[in-house]
A and B are shown apart, each in its own frame.
Chain A
Amino acid sequence: MAGSGTAHLRDPEKTILRAEHLVVEFPVGSTGLKVNAVSDVSIDLLPGETLGLVGESGSGKSTTGRAIMNMPRPNSGDVIFQGKKLSELTSTELREVRSNMQMIFQDPISSLNPRRRVANIIAEPLKIWKRGTAEEQKEKVNTTLEDVGLDPSLAASKRPHEFSGGQCQRICIARALVLDPKVIICDEPVSALDVSVQAQILNLLQDMKERYGLTMIFIAHDLAVVKNVSDRVAVMYLGKLCEVGSPDRLYETPAHPYTRALLDSIPVPDPKVVPGQFARLEGELPSPVAPPSGCRFRTRCPNAQELCAQVEPVMNEVGPDHFVACHFPIHDMSKETPVNL
């Protein structure tokens, strides 16, 4: 990607969720042009796994998350959840499947209805799906509130404005967990929070993942945060995947120049590390209305060649569980085998 390909996908038998060749386009007014938000992205998840999806604003990571929920349905491509193809389902069936997939959003305060009480907010999914009696629902709300670290006797009857941002995010997490979903898609869940609160929420998500046996897609632009929570990381650029791999490998030996540039941009909390010793990524994201031909990253890539403008690179394995879509991946000098183009 920034090419296509599915080399990084694993045995479909083992995956709980699989998205193949997702394409999402938005029309630009009535001009006939379209925004290529997500162009042929494939990802999969094993049960209990956390996939970190990173990229800059406009890379299509949030749109990918929504396309997996079929909110809205992707223009083409398929999402297979527990063996069911979501594109073949009617909207009623889709709603039922979606109760197993929940989302947590970036801004906890605006994603809660300010006029409703916390207990109502969290109980609503249970009411919609008619899970249990009123008594049982109340019980479930209370245990979920406790799980996310809020005291039900204090929190249940309050409204969102009485809570801080971190507490609101706990409420959002409780709302997402109350239906016992299989998959949670977290869309930048900590980027609106202070670093001290961010750590609380990240730890909480980790605990909830273990307690509820969740599979998670974690969308974020902060690579350090993504590394901390993920079992597998996928880097996106302008609607395409660049690189997929286990976090420890991908951060240690990034093969895609874009991943390298992202890693080099992170400010290090250590005064001995002089900023700006690496070449900066110049310029900004090109327009997704008319993305560059071939590799979409080539306009900002320090290693771009003729080939990059003509042929779109596809996913290639460069190491164990490490895939990159680049014609000229950064070589690990210790490795002898040349990369197969």
Chain B
Amino acid sequence: MSTPLLEVSGLSTSFVTDRGVVRAVDDVSFSLDRGKTLGVVGESGSGKTVLSRSVMGLLPKKNVIRTGHVIYDGVDVIDYDQKQMSAVWGKEMAMVFQDPMTSLNPVMKIGKQITESLRHHLGLDKEEANANALALMMSVGIPEPAQRLNEYPHQLSGGMRQRVTIAIALACGPKILFADEPTTALDVTVQAQILDLLDAQQRERHMAMILVSHDLGVVAGRTDEIMVMYGGKVVEHAPTAELFDNVKMPYTEALLRSIPRIENPSHTRLEAIPGRPPNLISPPKGCNFAPRCRYAQPKCVESEPPLITEGAHSYRCWFPCGTDENREALEKNMAAGVSVGISTTGGA
């Protein structure tokens, strides 16, 4: 097998704040092959956005501590400065952001925003760049593309704006596309359109994609592998089908259970996860998820579980789901009257 396109190993990213050091991404490793899609799932504050920005080198240098390795196409780019990175951005890695309104320049015509990177990175002249921009607008399904090139972002709907940001990201033919919650700000029908578009473009260009989302439904049908993050750490990582068939990590299980399902009858009681994500300035000593976990045992509070790897599936838990230890842990908790995981009270 050839070397993977992107290999991230031991990547940690911390922010220095007045209140202490926040470890937003903690020792994350993964690799991504050409043309594959990795889903990154987690709640707000789980570190998924910081992870993708950290890999792309988009974080400020000041008050940010970044360690580990980001090996892109055989070269470690972790220590690249902005100038070196700008050769990577756009051409090799590109990003689609969550909010298409704030990621576009409101006072610049759409055409200019697309041709900017074409002229900068590919050195095209004005005419070639314009022709390219038109082709891109068509490929992302924008009606009346020639006219749209002369319009400003506010003249487009949310879905159209997101198509424009995708066109900008695709402009220089990146090998990896980071899509950071690309559909969170959009309606469900438009979300479906945009996800289909990303799928189609990815297949056509044989691009690798990292699809970041808080919605397991969004990543389920569209990824090869899924990485679940919690408190800055990868808590479970497995091929998509394996993850859904054979959940090991109680956090992933809890996330899946808390989703309202369309196939359930109405008024089905949801299994909420009590409490809130950990404080990353002074994270708990043991497992990050222990305070919210229905299976938590004294061992979980005392020592942090390592990342356990079984074939392609890895997870961080002392009492993984589907094992006898897990069942015993739950029975013990039930017997002791601890009903974490199904209560609604507790501070959301």
Contacts and interface: CB of A to CB of B under 8 A. Distances in A.
Q: Do A and B bind each other?
A: yes
Interface of A: 56-57, 149-151, 163-167, 169-170, 193-204, 206-207, 221-225, 227-231, 246-248, 251, 261-276, 280-281, 283-285
A151 B273 CA distance: 18
A271 B247 CA distance: 13
Interface stretch (B65-73, B86-94, B193-201): B193-201
A119 B169 CA distance: 48
B192 interface: yes
B348 A267 contact: no
B9 to A, nearest CB: 27
B271 interface: yes
A164 B43 contact: no
Contacts, number: 172
Given A194-B43, A280-B192, A268 B217 contact: yes
Contact of B344 (A151, A194, A203, A224): A203
A227 B215 CA distance: 18
A222 B262 CA distance: 10
Q: How big is chain B's contact interface, by range?
A: 35 or more
B272 interface: yes
B154 interface: no
Contacts of B2: none
28 contacts: A149-B344, A166-B276, A167-B347, A170-B348, A195-B216, A195-B255, A195-B259, A196-B255, A197-B273, A199-B259, A199-B272, A206-B267, A223-B262, A228-B270, A229-B266, A229-B267, A262-B189, A264-B192, A266-B217, A267-B215, A267-B217, A267-B218, A267-B221, A269-B217, A272-B241, A273-B221, A274-B221, A284-B190
B188 to A, nearest CB: 5
Given A222-B188, A265-B191, A284 B159 contact: yes
A196 B228 CA distance: 14
Contact of A164 (B220, B241, B276): B276
Interface string B148-167: 00000000011110000000
B266 A265 contact: no
A145 B2 CA distance: 59
Interface of B: 43-44, 143, 157-160, 187-193, 195-196, 199, 214-218, 220-222, 240-241, 243-244, 254-256, 258-262, 264-274, 276, 344-348
Chain B residues touching A, majority SS: loop
Contact of A207 (B188, B255, B266, B344): B344
Given A203-B270, A229-B266, A283-B143, 5 more contacts: A56-B187, A196-B254, A221-B187, A223-B188, A275-B199
B270 A202 contact: yes
Nearest 6 A/B pairs, CB to CB: A166-B348, A267-B217, A199-B272, A196-B273, A199-B258, A199-B270
Contact of B260 (A150, A228, A261): A228
Contacts of A169: 348
B292 to A, nearest CB: 8
B347 A270 contact: no
Contacts of B187: 56-57, 221
B262 A251 contact: yes
Contacts of A276: 192, 196, 199
Nearest to A230: B266
B45 to A, nearest CB: 9
A224 B346 contact: no
A196 B43 contact: yes
Contacts of B214: 194-195
B276 to A, nearest CB: 6
Contacts of B158: 57
Contacts of B269: 203, 206
Contacts of B254: 196
Contacts of B199: 275-276
Contacts of B276: 164, 166, 197
B242 to A, nearest CB: 9
Nearest to B348: A166
